[in-house]
Every structure is written in structure tokens, then in C-alpha cells.
Structure 1
Amino acid sequence: MRRLRNDLPYTFTPPKPRGWFRPLGLWANNAVFLRRKYNVPLLEDSGFEKVKELSAAGHSVLLAPNHADHSDPHVMSALIARHEMRSHFMAAREVFEVSKAGAWALQSMGVFSVDRDGPDLSAIKTAITLLETSSDPLVIYPEGEIYHHHERLDPLHEGVASILLKAAARLKERKEAWLVPVGIRFHHDPAVQDTFDERLSRLEDRIGWTPKPSMAVDERIVRLGTGLLGLKEMEFLGEAGRGKIQDRLAAMCESLLSEVESRQGRDPKATTAPERVRGQRYRIRKRLLDAEKPPTYLEKTALLDDLDRVFTALQAHSYIGDYFLAEQTLDRRAETIMKLEEDLLGFPNYPVPRTAKVRAGEPIPVSKMLAAGELPPKGGAGELTALLERRLGELLLR
């Protein structure tokens, strides 16, 4: 999970598909990003024939994949193109802020920005309009963040369901709204096992420890993770905790969020840790960007420190304490080491080929459910989100 200290103003970036650029964009997506950067040379998929049928029939199709890897958007772009469809993507504002050339390329491929920390009405309206007027699949990730655990879902945001329900209410004639859960799993080449010792040594050295290549890999991973947790506890709480890792992670997350909320206020509707984090980031950034009454230097420093606290709270939340401890499979070892690399080094390593296995689940007939009274026209986002979460979770267990 990448550290964000975003105190920059946000400007919505709309999609501007350019047909002539599409072949070049798809080539770069496959050759430069999937194969070279993320080392994903093989994609296996199932269930997209139904998606293609719905798109060809002119319906509104929203694809909702899990989001556990930085290559997920590139995987989805390649698969949608493989099945001779075009697509639109909602992507975090941060990816547009890397470079002007990159932002232009994303727009040209039908991608538009969203500010995840606030009510981005432009992004919502764009998504609804695309669903209403186009039959090209729209891809939105309902988890919102990248958590690096492919076999577990984080609680889904209701935004995806809310957007589709609003779009469904505006559809005319025979056009219907469909929600398709998409499960993405990555499987590593067995050769990845041979990279663990060197990578763990680099991580141990990064925090000032003497590398222990003679120690068992699983023991090193747990030792390193526990050590990092202790360092964060010392940094923010003043002392290292004791007890089960999951309990310590939950306690740290709650302590940091409660501390910031005591200063910034809390949205009573925000219940999960990600919702509370988004609420605090929105409040803090709003104050940082207050043009009428700019914060003083000391206040700005304190606000930025609070951004660090809520980021660390989300970091703690993103580590599932029993995910690796419950089952030390090759893929879970690799995922955990990649997550530690991102947190310590800034970006994970992909030293061996990975296979992406992607399953499009049974499409959920949102328009038909509304017509039959199975979903209320108002307030149905929660029920639809729960259904999506259940279907998506089942796909990840197959």
C-alpha cells in the first residue's frame, strides 16, 4: 500500500477514447506492463462469453473485480480486448498525477479519474452516463484499495451498487443493467521460492537487522512482519504491543483513527476502517486546501501528521493477521513478501512469471430485480453490495 500525503487540489479527468490510439495502448498494456513490469505473461479466463453477449445486445454492464494486485487493471484491459470488447475504467486520481503523458494515454483508453476520499460528483455522473449511453463494459473496483491478499475480500464500498442502481433507473426501452462479479487470482511459478531468501534479506537489512538466510522462510516472514508492527507501534503509540498479531493490528488501527477523529471529527455513517480513513482524508485535505483561511505552518504540519496516522491505520487494517498464519502456501508466501516490499521499499518485486486466473461470475440482473421488487429503487445499494460481496467471495475460493 503506497503512502499518500496528498495535499494537492483535485481536477476531474474525463475519458476521451481515441480509436487510433487503442492498438498502441493495448500493445503497451500487454508487452510493457503485463509482461515486462508485472511479469504476467499468461491469462486464463472463463465466463466472459456471457459478458460479451450482454454487451453485444446493447445492455449496461458493470464489471466489479476484486483488487489485490497493481496489475489488475492491465489484466482486465487485456481480457476485455481478447473478447473483442471496448471498455471504460474508473481509476484513482493518483494514477493521473504521475505524468501528463500517462494521463493522456489513460484518457485515450477510456479511463477517467475518481477522488476516492470525497464525493466526486463528476466521476459519479460520468459513470452513470456511460452506463446509460454505452454498452461497453465499465470496470470499477468495489474494494477501492489494493490489499495484496487474493483469497480474501475486504468489505466492499456501496458506491458501485449505488452507481448502477441510479443508471438502471434512467435506462429506456429494452436496455438492462447488469452487474458482473469478477474474481482475479494470481499463481506464481514455483521458481519464486528460490527468490525468497534474497528478498527477505534485503528487507531485513532495510530495517537495520542482520539478515538470517539460515532461518526457515515462514519463520522469517512472521519475524519480519512482527518486527515491523512493533516499530510502527513504537512510532505512533510509544510502546510495542503484546499478544496475537491480529489483535495488535486491530488495536493500532482503532487507536490511530480514534486519535485523529478526536481532532477532526467523525462521520457517524462511517463504520468500517476504510470508510473512516476516507472520511478523515477528506476532512484533512479540505482544511489543507482552504483558500479563504489557509492553515498556518504549524497547523499544516499537524494535518500532514494526521494524514500519516490514518494511512498507517489503513496499513494495519490491510494486513490480515491470520491470512498467512492460517495457510503458508507458495502464493500466500509470495503475496506477503510483495506486500512487505511495497511497504518498506516502495514497490513490490515480480521476479518470476505469474499466471492470472480470472473468472467472470454469473451476471446479476439488476434491472429485472428492480422490476420484480427484489431490490428497492431507493436504499437498495446495501442489499446489492451484500449480494456482490457474497458472489465475489465465492469466485475467489474456486
Structure 2
Amino acid sequence: MRRLRNDLPYTFRPPKVRWWVRPFLQWANRRLLLEKKYRIGSIDERGFGKVKELVDAGDAVLLAPNHADHSDPHLMMEIGSRHRMPLHFMGAREIFEVSSRASWALQSMGVFSVDRDGPDLSAIKTAIGLLADGVPLVVYPEGEIYHHHERLDPLHEGVASILLKAAGRLSDGRKAWLVPVGMRFHHDPAVESTFVGRLNRLEDRIGWTPRPSMPTRDRTIRLGTGLLGLKEIEFLGEAIRGELQDRLCGLCERLLGEVEERHGRDPKAGTPPERVRALRYRLRRRLLDEKEPALGEARAALLDDLDRVFTALQAHSYVGDYLLAEPTVDRHAETIMKLEEDLFGFPTYPTERRAAVAADDPICVSDLIESGELTKKEGAGVLTGVLEKRLTRLLASL
């Protein structure tokens, strides 16, 4: 999980589609990013013919993919290009803050920013407006990239809320649709030959003597457990004994609990990602308060709490039994990529991968509202539950 600055003022970046530059950006997305950077050698896709029909009919179509890899949005851009669908995207504010050129390119392709840690009304209004105008929109309901491609993390209800609001603005017989999209990546078997060298670099990074003779599975678990112990010592003062999953959950809960004691807990935040977002929002408001600016030790304490919250989310993002339960080549590769991102800032892609992408049968939200199966009060939760079941089933089929 990449550590991104979140103590900066936020400026909403709206979509600014520049049709004249789209062909070049689509080519660059395919050749420079998908093929060269992310090593996507082939894309197996299915189910997007029906999505195209709904888009051509002018209906409100929201595509909700799982979010397992940094190449996800680039893959969806390519699919939109193949089917001539003018896909727009809601993207995390941080990707716009990399550089002005990156922001310009993203906005040119129909991407707009969202502040995931607070009530970003500009992003919500933009999303509802696009859907009401018949522009297909891609939103990732997991919100973060966790690198475990076969399992979902809890979904945010914001995606369902946006579509429900957009459905209320439709007329002339137009309908609102939610399209679950499953995405998985399969590595070339040759990736296994890269594990030894990559684990060597990871071990060397933390000052360990590389152990290339050790079995890959044992070595990967040993490295991950060692990194967890370092984090426990950093924040808790000692390495904790116990099962890996219990330790991960314990570190996450302990860190969130400590920060919530100082800054309060949002009663509506239940899952660790929701608690993280609520805390980051409160901490950023305090850091950016111009009337009573936090200076010196007070500012340092707030930044330290941001680090604690980030580490809590890191611990949550690891599923302790993911590799242990089924040590396939793909799961080994995903785990090593995740460790590389945490230690080096970004994973490596040493061999080709095959992307499998499937659009499930679209869910007609308008019909569910009309039948009374979805209500304004509880509709977002119900629809999110349906989406989670559909995505879980899709991932198992890819």
C-alpha cells in the first residue's frame, strides 16, 4: 500500500474531456502503460456487449469493479476504447497531485477527483450529473488496492447511494443500471523464477541476510512476519506472539483505538477502512485549520497519528491466511508485489500477465426501486450487499 500525502489542501478536479487528444492517450494507455509498465500481455473479456447496448440507449450505467491492481483503471479505459464507450472515472485525489501533467491527462480522459476521507460534494454531484446525462461511470467500491485478487474487501455504500440518487433524476423511460465487474490477473509461470531475486532484495532492504535456499512459501511468510514484528515494536514497543491473522487484527485495532481515544470515533464507522477514513478526515481538518493552526509539537503529534492510521490500514490490508490457505503461483506473486510496494513504494512486474475481466448481468436499479425492493432509507445497504455477492461470485469464475 503506497504512503500518499494526505495533509495537503484539497482542490476538486472535474473531468475536462479533450476529444482531440483521446486517441493518443488511448494509444499511450495501451502500449506504454498496460503492455510495458504493467506487463498485460492479453485481455480476456466478456459481458460488455450488453453494457454497450445500455450506454447506447442513453441509460444511466455505473460500472463497479473490484480493485486489486494498479492497472485496473487502465484496463477499464482499454475496454471502454474497444467498445467505444465514453467511460468516465472517479479517481482518488492523490493521483491528481502527482504532477500537473498527470492531472491534465487524467481530466482529458474523463477522470475526476474524489476526496475519499470526507464528504466530497463536488465529486458526488459530478457523478450523479454524469449518470443522469447518460455518461457511463466507473467507480471502485473497495476504494483501496489490496493486492489479494481473489478476495474482496468490504465495499463502500457510496457507490450505491450515487446511483440511487441518479435514478431519481431520470425521465423518458430511461433506467439506472449497476454493473458488477470482476477483474483478475494471472501470471506467466515464468514469474516463479523471479521470486528468489525479488525476495533477496526485500530481505536486504530490512538488513537481513538473504536466504535463497529457503522454500519460497516459508521465506515469504518469514519476511512478512518479520515486517509485522518491526511495526509492532515501532508502535507497541514489543513484538507480539500469536497467530499471524490475530496479530494483524490486533495491531490494526490497537492503533485505531489509540488515535480514536485522542480524536473521537465516528459512530457510523464500523469496518477498519471506514474508521481510517473518518480519522484521516478529522486529522486533516485539524492540520489544515487556518484559524487555529497546529504548530510545532502539536503538528508533529497529528502527523504521527496519521502514520498510525496508515499503518493500521496496512495491517488490515494483509489477509493472514491468503497465501497459507492456497499457495498458488498467482498468490505468491501478489504477496511479493504487496511487500515490494510497502518497502520500495511500488511493485515490480517482471513477466507478462493475463487479465480476465467480466461484466456480470446488469442490475436494473430503477426496476428495484419501482417494485419497492429498494428504498431511499435502506436501499444503499441492500444494493451494496447484492453487489458484494455478485462480485464474489465473479472473481471465483475468472
* SS of residue matched to 1:44: strand
Matched, 1:89 2:107: no
Matched, 1:263 2:251: no
Q: Distance in 1 between matches of 2:16 and 2:179?
A: 24
Matched, 1:144 2:150: no
Partner of 2:209: 210
Matched, 1:366 2:370: no
| Residue 377 of structure 1: how far off its partner (Å) | 2.7
* SS of residue matched to 2:212: coil
* SS of residue matched to 1:277: helix
- In the alignment, residue 341 of structure 2 is paired with which amino acid? E
Q: Distance in 2 between matches of 1:221 and 1:29?
A: 32
* SS of residue matched to 2:168: helix
Partner of 2:117: 117
Q: Distance in 1 between matches of 2:250 and 2:111?
A: 38
User: Is the Cα–Cα contact under 8 Å of residues 287 and 299 in structure 2 kept in the other structure?
Assistant: yes
User: Is the Cα–Cα contact under 8 Å of residues 5 and 307 in structure 1 kept in the other structure?
Assistant: no
User: Is the Cα–Cα contact under 8 Å of residues 5 and 308 in structure 1 kept in the other structure?
Assistant: no
Q: TM-score, normalised by structure 1?
A: 0.99
Q: Which moved more, 1:109-118 or 1:3-12?
A: 3-12
User: Is the Cα–Cα contact under 8 Å of residues 276 and 313 in structure 2 kept in the other structure?
Assistant: yes
Matched, 1:170 2:169: yes
Q: Distance in 1 between matches of 2:5 and 2:272?
A: 18
Partner of 2:79: 79
Q: Distance in 1 between matches of 2:103 and 2:40?
A: 23
Deviations 1:188-214 (A, max 9, x none): 001000000000000000000000001
* SS of residue matched to 2:44: strand
Deviations 1:231-287 (A, max 9, x none): 100000111011110000000000000000000111001000000000000000000
* SS of residue matched to 1:397: helix
| Residue 102 of structure 1: how far off its partner (Å) | 1.0
Q: Distance in 1 between matches of 2:24 and 2:89?
A: 18
Partner of 1:299: 298
User: Is the Cα–Cα contact under 8 Å of residues 287 and 293 in structure 2 kept in the other structure?
Assistant: yes
Q: Distance in 1 between matches of 2:111 and 2:61?
A: 16
| Residue 137 of structure 1: how far off its partner (Å) | 1.6
- In the alignment, residue 11 of structure 2 is paired with which amino acid? T
User: Is the Cα–Cα contact under 8 Å of residues 4 and 94 in structure 2 kept in the other structure?
Assistant: no
* SS of residue matched to 1:210: coil
Superposed counterparts of 1:57-68, under 5 Å: 57-68=57-68
- In the alignment, residue 273 of structure 2 is paired with which amino acid? P
User: Is the Cα–Cα contact under 8 Å of residues 38 and 350 in structure 1 kept in the other structure?
Assistant: yes
| Residue 84 of structure 1: how far off its partner (Å) | 1.6
User: Is the Cα–Cα contact under 8 Å of residues 44 and 356 in structure 2 kept in the other structure?
Assistant: yes
> Structure 1: where are the runs of 5+ without partners?
none
| Residue 219 of structure 1: how far off its partner (Å) | 0.7
Partner of 1:385: 384
Q: Distance in 1 between matches of 2:370 and 2:238?
A: 57
C-alpha RMSD over aligned residues: 0.7
Q: Distance in 2 between matches of 1:290 and 1:373?
A: 44
Deviations 1:70-96 (A, max 9, x none): 000000000111112111000000110
User: Is the Cα–Cα contact under 8 Å of residues 164 and 380 in structure 2 kept in the other structure?
Assistant: yes
Deviations 1:292-311 (A, max 9, x none): 11012111000000000000
Q: Distance in 2 between matches of 1:19 and 1:32?
A: 20
Percentage identity across paired residues of the two chains: 69
Q: Distance in 2 between matches of 1:386 and 1:88?
A: 24
* SS of residue matched to 2:67: coil
Which aligned runs of 4 or more in structure 1 are off by greater than 3 angstroms?
none
Q: Distance in 1 between matches of 2:301 and 2:58?
A: 52
* SS of residue matched to 2:251: helix
- In the alignment, residue 85 of structure 1 is paired with which amino acid? M
User: Is the Cα–Cα contact under 8 Å of residues 155 and 384 in structure 2 kept in the other structure?
Assistant: yes
Q: Distance in 2 between matches of 1:161 and 1:324?
A: 32
User: Is the Cα–Cα contact under 8 Å of residues 4 and 311 in structure 1 kept in the other structure?
Assistant: no
User: Is the Cα–Cα contact under 8 Å of residues 5 and 94 in structure 2 kept in the other structure?
Assistant: no
Q: TM-score, normalised by structure 2?
A: 0.99
Deviations 1:342-387 (A, max 9, x none): 0011100000000110010111100000001111133310000000
Q: Distance in 2 between matches of 1:99 and 1:243?
A: 43
Partner of 2:324: 325
* SS of residue matched to 1:209: coil
- In the alignment, residue 282 of structure 1 is paired with which amino acid? Y
| Residue 4 of structure 1: how far off its partner (Å) | 2.7
User: Is the Cα–Cα contact under 8 Å of residues 124 and 163 in structure 1 kept in the other structure?
Assistant: yes
Q: Distance in 2 between matches of 1:139 and 1:248?
A: 35
Q: Distance in 2 between matches of 1:319 and 1:28?
A: 33
Partner of 1:183: 182
Deviations 1:303-345 (A, max 9, x none): 0000000000000000000111100001000000000000011
User: Is the Cα–Cα contact under 8 Å of residues 64 and 179 in structure 1 kept in the other structure?
Assistant: yes
> Structure 2: where are the runs of 5+ without partners?
none
User: Is the Cα–Cα contact under 8 Å of residues 12 and 114 in structure 2 kept in the other structure?
Assistant: yes
Name the count of aligned residue pairs. 397
